[in-house]
Structure 1
Amino acid sequence: MKYKNWKKIILKSNNTISNVIKNLNKSSAQIVLVVNKNKKFLGTITDGDIRRGLSRGLSLKSNIIKIVNRSPITVNYEINKVKAKKIMNKNSISHLPILDKFNSKIKGIIILKEISSEEQSFDNPVVIMAGGKGQRLWPITKKCPKPLLKINGETIIEKIIKTCRRQGFKNFCVSINYLGKMIENYLQNGKKLDSKIKYIKEKKFLGTGGSLSLIKNNSVKQSPLIVINGDILVNINFKELIDFHIKNKSKATMVVRKSSFQNPYGEVKLQNMKITKFNEKPIRYFFANSGIYCIDFDCLRNLKKNTYYDMPDIFKLLQNKKLKVLAYPLYEEWEDIGDLATYNRISGLK
């Protein structure tokens, strides 16, 4: 019952957040156990701790001690599966570290998904925005819509759907316009991908979010819904995004990623034409829209049907109506197949 590779998810407290992310991406545990130089247990780190740290302004180079959860629920002995599940379900946690009787040394960890035999399944629909022209990828998108471009023998949209299916999401709405019939003919009803696929058919281009106004009530079994651009490859845990959205009572949540831009010029600061400071090629940090969203279905009633909206327009509209909108920091691997250079790099083409 104990996670067999638990020793591989232990990190010393002198590591950086970047090291934690690398460890999380390598293992299936979705947690890191932190110890000091004497191997004494200090606490745990999950992706939620990382997101909160990044949203507070920490960087990937920051020491992990700043994001450690120092009060995790633990046990001092190996308990049976029934008791372990009861403790984790009662406390809404997914991990249960096992410590010695002094609460000092790590003896293992129990992970909920490892002891749960039933496969998770969610009715929340995933809306894939696949109606754009992909003009930055011309000429290869002149006769093939961007979501059907292949990477290592598999189309982009198949990769998106399979990522969601592995996490238990099976209901999809694909928004189509440009060369949309090709996408519909390729995916059909989703049976070959063990999914259920419906289509939102734009009659005119409605931006990156306008087609949400065309979703029918009977196509949504569970709110909130996930929205993702049809050219995004990402390792995000969608269930954790939904949990964050619901727990924080958000009406619309935008997944953002921390980015940076280096000014290629030396910056000169002035005050009354006097030079006060020099900054040589300064780096600016900011959060960028990742093209992934979690939205309550009832929010879509605020949209005018068949009206052009980009997704930021929808968030501004909801803000103006005093509805709660939040950001969800992303640290997982993310790629936007937005131009030829990116597509060629990911596809291994020159």
Structure 2
Amino acid sequence: MEGRVPTELLIARSATGIEALRQMDAVGHKMLIVVNADGGFHSILTVGDLQRAIIASYDIAQSIDGLLDPKSKEYAYVWESEEDIRQRMLAIRAEFMPVLDEAGALQRLYLWEDFFPSTSHVAEREPLDLPVVIMAGGRGERMKPLTNVIPKPLIPIGEKTILETILDQFAAIGCHRFYISENYKAGLLQYYLSELELPYSITHVVEDKPMGTIGSVSLMAESIDTPFFVSNCDILVDQDYRDVYDYHVSNSNDITVVTSMQAQRIPYGVIESGPDGLLERVIEKPENIYMINTGVYLLNAEMIDLIPRDTFFHITDLIAEVIAKGGRVGCFPVSERSWRDIGTWAEYLRVLG
């Protein structure tokens, strides 16, 4: 097994969900091989397992052991042919496939690129063609003085702008109808996009005045009649949005908010005391997990009717109204490093490396 299975893909059953998510972020894979205390193979853990656990209110500060399914078929045996393994990986879109011997010991690992060197395991899924609204009208106050010259959506990341990167990510899953809500430096943004040969449709929706984080969607009421995505123009989320759609539909949500799990460690011992003021315990440097709004949403078309026309209106206002009316607002979690807020200098420079 030595040299065949990267040790960074192995995780102990005793590890916590938080540790598993961080390891996935670090190695750039959304699957890990779970091993027993003796190093023997136990099962596979996927980011989907963790996401479903979080949605079900599982405490990911606890061991992953309670999430594991040793009967999972995301592995193969040494007597199976490479073609059979290839077909199974294709069927379940597995990033990799562990291979076990007769005793259940891990012998080797097939990576997706071993069989499909020119395609992504994500690209093999059925395409999802939903409208996408990009909120690109802000002034980019946190990115001044750069945004005094260019609008925030045109800030470059490598050879492309942030906006192009977001558009390409949605296009990769099948989305081809984009609505860009614009206000600040709208003319410059439109000119830039007109010079590109893009393989999808773009409709420019210009706000005559700032309308908040969702208000301009009211101007698209006659154009959108299916569920649709909404994304801020300064964030990147490493997530196949088809999973978000599946979760949205299966739970009959009116709105689904894509959230990011962010850890905050308190660098001190925290005191817990009773009602009599006596110390009960000291928690040394505790770490708390919070769900952060990433700025990506999936909304049913009917939600547009709840957005007042030609009015300043935030997405938080819409969410509050939906909840007040008894609607369903779900949260779809992604890992800490799967979300990048490019709208700040610190994070922008970190992405640039």
TM-score normalized with structure 2 length: 0.77
Q: Contact 2:221/2:305 (CA < 8 Å) preserved in 1?
A: no
User: Please, which runs of 5 or more residues in structure 1 have no aligned partner?
Assistant: none
Q: Give the direction of change, closer, same or farther, for the CA distance of 1:39–1:230 in structure 2 (3 Å limit).
A: same
Q: Does 1:51 align with 2:51?
A: yes
Counting aligned pairs with the same residue, the percent is: 26
Aligned counterpart, 2:72 = 72
RMSD over equivalenced CA pairs, Å? 4.0
Counterpart of 1:122 in 2: which secondary structure? coil
Letter in 2 for 1:200: V
Aligned counterpart, 1:136 = 142
Name the CA distance, whole Å, in 1 between partners of 2:43 and 2:190.
Answer: 49
Pairing 1:154-165 to 2, within 5 Å after superposition: 154-165=160-171
Pairing 1:137-286 to 2, within 5 Å after superposition: 137-188=143-194, 191-192=197-198, 194-219=199-224, 223-261=226-264, 275-277=277-279, 284-286=288-290
Mean Cα deviation higher: 323-332 or 149-158:
149-158
Letter in 2 for 1:238: Y
Q: Give the direction of change, closer, same or farther, for the CA distance of 1:322–1:147 in structure 2 (3 Å limit).
A: same
Matched length:
337
Name the CA distance, whole Å, in 2 between partners of 1:98 and 1:207.
Answer: 52
* 1:115-141 CA-partner distances (Å, limit 9, x unpaired): 798855321122211111112222221
Counterpart of 1:141 in 2: which secondary structure? helix
TM-score normalized with structure 1 length: 0.77
How many Å apart are 1:204 and its aligned residue?
1.6
How many Å apart are 1:270 and its aligned residue?
7.9
Name the CA distance, whole Å, in 1 between partners of 2:36 and 2:270.
Answer: 41
How many Å apart are 1:171 and its aligned residue?
2.7
Name the CA distance, whole Å, in 2 between partners of 1:270 and 1:119.
Answer: 55
* 1:21-75 CA-partner distances (Å, limit 9, x unpaired): 455457786433323245544222111211234453534x643323323332466
Counterpart of 2:51 in 1: which secondary structure? helix
Counterpart of 1:169 in 2: which secondary structure? coil
Name the CA distance, whole Å, in 1 between partners of 2:39 and 2:272.
Answer: 48
* 1:129-154 CA-partner distances (Å, limit 9, x unpaired): 11111122222212321111123343
Counterpart of 1:191 in 2: which secondary structure? coil
Q: Give the direction of change, closer, same or farther, for the CA distance of 1:81–1:314 in structure 2 (3 Å limit).
A: farther
Mean Cα deviation higher: 38-47 or 255-264:
255-264
Letter in 1 for 2:218: S
How many Å apart are 1:261 and its aligned residue?
4.5
